């Protein structure tokens, strides 16, 4: 399957650079089969049915971007991919020349790190201090590369879901950014249930598919946890005839990873599940998601869920009608 089959043209002025004043005021494009209609996110409770189950990702974005310099003086920008120990982490490093094993990097507050090794585009670092404490004091929120500005104080709250609680992500599960207390109250009033899992979104989520054949692409791994409690809730929901509505592609990947053997079971560990057209879904019945980059693995997942033709046609509709795209943009409710 050719990567370019998932291309669409997007004017740069439609890439949202700021969040809206109110989370729930985002527009919501509803794709049902091959038909689209325009709503707002605050309409969501009325678009679902009593007894449906929303599954959300409760990961919390850490202040994972910081700057330093090599002991030789060259500037370095670090974006943590994952904390692997109290004083160890795996990270992306931007520098004029890639650091070699043994390279010393100096940060604020007498903090130092040494490059232990490299795996692909990621570097393993050992610090001389507790990493989480250092991040709290010196780290910055890692806004995505297509947001062309320096993070400001509002991003600390708005590039985070209101239900985030498990530290570990370096990118937000952006479909969840539209929820606020009023939306949750509306869901509760309609007897629509909620459940939570954790998938720590890595910086690799922005890595483009570079292979011509998408089947040749290897997706980045991310840590996920699907609990026994959530599995029981999903099974009972389906037994009653309710739908499982995934809030975001991260939730889809976690749930479908937990059901790869054909039955949904608790799951904890790494997943590099790459979902593209032809994939058979075991768990998810409907999907809430933001708009994704052209030729991205996330767009391929949505196309697998609801059909490549209808999804790309919906994207063209969104462009024509000036929806806001990507992390701080608008959302879709996809119901095949």
The ranges assigned to domains in the chain are 3-61+154-335, 67-138
Q: How many CA atoms lie within 13 A of 270 on its CB side?
A: 7
Q: Which residues share a beta bridge with 225?
A: 198, 268
The answer to whether the beta carbons of residues 150 and 65 sit under 8 Å apart is: no
**pLDDT score, position 109:** 84
**pLDDT score, position 205:** 82
Q: How confident is the model at residue 121 (pLDDT cuts 50, 70, 90)?
A: confident
Mean pLDDT value of segment 221-234: 97
pLDDT at position 214 over 90? yes
Question: CA 202 to CA 222: how far, in whole Å?
Answer: 6
Which residues 6+ apart lie within 8 Å of 83 measured at CB?
Answer: 62, 89, 131, 132, 168
The answer to whether the beta carbons of residues 168 and 60 sit under 8 Å apart is: yes
Mean pLDDT value of segment 213-220: 93
| Most confident segment among 14-28, 90-104, 120-134 | 14-28
pLDDT at position 251 over 90? yes
pLDDT exceeding 70 applies to what percent of the chain?
100
**pLDDT score, position 294:** 97
pLDDT at position 99 over 90? yes
Average pLDDT, the chain: 96
**pLDDT score, position 259:** 98
DSSP 175: G
Phi, psi of 123 (to 5 degrees): -115, 140
Q: Retrieve residue 225's tokens.
A: 């946890």
**pLDDT score, position 336:** 87
Cα 328 to Cα 100, 146, 200, 294: the distances in Å are 36, 11, 19, 16
The predicted model scores a pTM of 0.94
Which residues 6+ apart lie within 8 Å of 280 measured at CB?
Answer: none
Q: Retrieve residue 45's tokens.
A: 């409770």
Match 């104080």 to its residue by tokens. 153
Q: Which residues share a beta bridge with 35?
A: 32
pLDDT at position 120 over 90? no
Match 């709503």 to its residue by tokens. 39
Four-residue CA torsion sign, 53, 318, 299, 15? negative
42 sits in the region (left: phi over 0; alpha: psi -120 to 50; else beta) called alpha
pLDDT at position 271 over 90? yes
Q: How confident is the model at residue 207 (pLDDT cuts 50, 70, 90)?
A: confident
Cα 8 to Cα 20, 209, 229: the distances in Å are 25, 15, 40
Segment among 151-160, 187-196, 197-206 with least mean pLDDT: 197-206
314 sits in the region (left: phi over 0; alpha: psi -120 to 50; else beta) called alpha
pLDDT exceeding 90 applies to what percent of the chain?
94
| Most confident segment among 59-73, 191-205, 207-221, 243-257 | 243-257
**pLDDT score, position 29:** 98
Question: CA 243 to CA 232: how far, in whole Å?
Answer: 14
**pLDDT score, position 204:** 79
**pLDDT score, position 220:** 85
Q: How confident is the model at residue 269 (pLDDT cuts 50, 70, 90)?
A: very high
Q: 67-138 maps to which CATH number?
A: 2.40.10.240
Question: CA 315 to CA 334: how far, in whole Å?
Answer: 12
**pLDDT score, position 52:** 98
275-326: pLDDT as tens digits: 999 999 999 999 999 999 999 999 999 999 999 999 999 999 999 999 999 9
DSSP 240: T
How many Å separate Cα 141 from the centre of its chain?
15
Q: Does domain 3-61+154-335 have CATH number 2.60.120.260?
A: no
Segment among 68-77, 231-240, 276-285, 320-329 with least mean pLDDT: 68-77
Question: CA 317 to CA 321: how far, in whole Å?
Answer: 6
């Amino acid at each position: 399957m050719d990567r370019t089959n998932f291309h669409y043209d997007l004017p740069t002025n439609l890439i949202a650079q700021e969040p809206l004043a109110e989370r729930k005021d985002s527009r919501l494009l509803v794709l049902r089969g091959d038909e689209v209609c325009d709503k707002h996110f605050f309409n969501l409770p009325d678009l679902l049915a009593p007894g449906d189950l929303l599954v959300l990702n409760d990961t919390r974005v850490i202040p994972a971007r910081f700057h330093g310099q090599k002991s030789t003086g060259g500037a370095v920008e670090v974006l943590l991919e994952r904390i692997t120990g109290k004083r160890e982490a795996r990270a992306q490093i931007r520098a004029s020349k890639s650091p070699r094993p043994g390279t010393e990097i100096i940060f604020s507050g007498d903090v130092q790190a040494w490059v232990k090794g490299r795996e692909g585009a990621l570097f393993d670092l050992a610090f001389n201090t507790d990493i989480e404490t250092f991040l709290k004091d010196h780290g910055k929120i890692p806004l995505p590369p297509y947001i062309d500005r320096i993070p400001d104080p509002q991003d600390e709250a708005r590039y985070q879901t209101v239900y985030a609680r498990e530290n570990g992500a370096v990118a937000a599960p952006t479909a969840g950014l539209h929820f606020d207390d009023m939306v949750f109250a509306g869901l509760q009033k309609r007897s629509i249930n909620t459940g939570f899992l954790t998938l720590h979104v890595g910086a690799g989520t922005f890595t483009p598919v570079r292979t011509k054949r998408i089947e040749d692409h290897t997706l980045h791994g991310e840590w996920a946890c699907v609990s026994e409690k959530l599995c029981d809730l999903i099974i009972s929901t389906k037994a009653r005839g309710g739908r499982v509505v995934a809030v975001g592609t991260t939730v889809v990947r976690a749930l479908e990873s937990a059901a790869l053997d054909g039955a949904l079971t608790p799951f904890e560990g790494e997943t590099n599940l790459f979902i593209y057209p032809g994939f058979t879904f075991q768990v998810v019945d409907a999907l809430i998601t933001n708009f994704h980059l052209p030729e991205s693995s996330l767009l391929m997942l949505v196309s697998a869920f609801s059909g490549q033709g209808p999804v790309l046609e919906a994207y063209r509709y969104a462009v024509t009608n000036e929806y806001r795209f990507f992390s701080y943009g608008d959302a879709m409710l996809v119901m095949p």
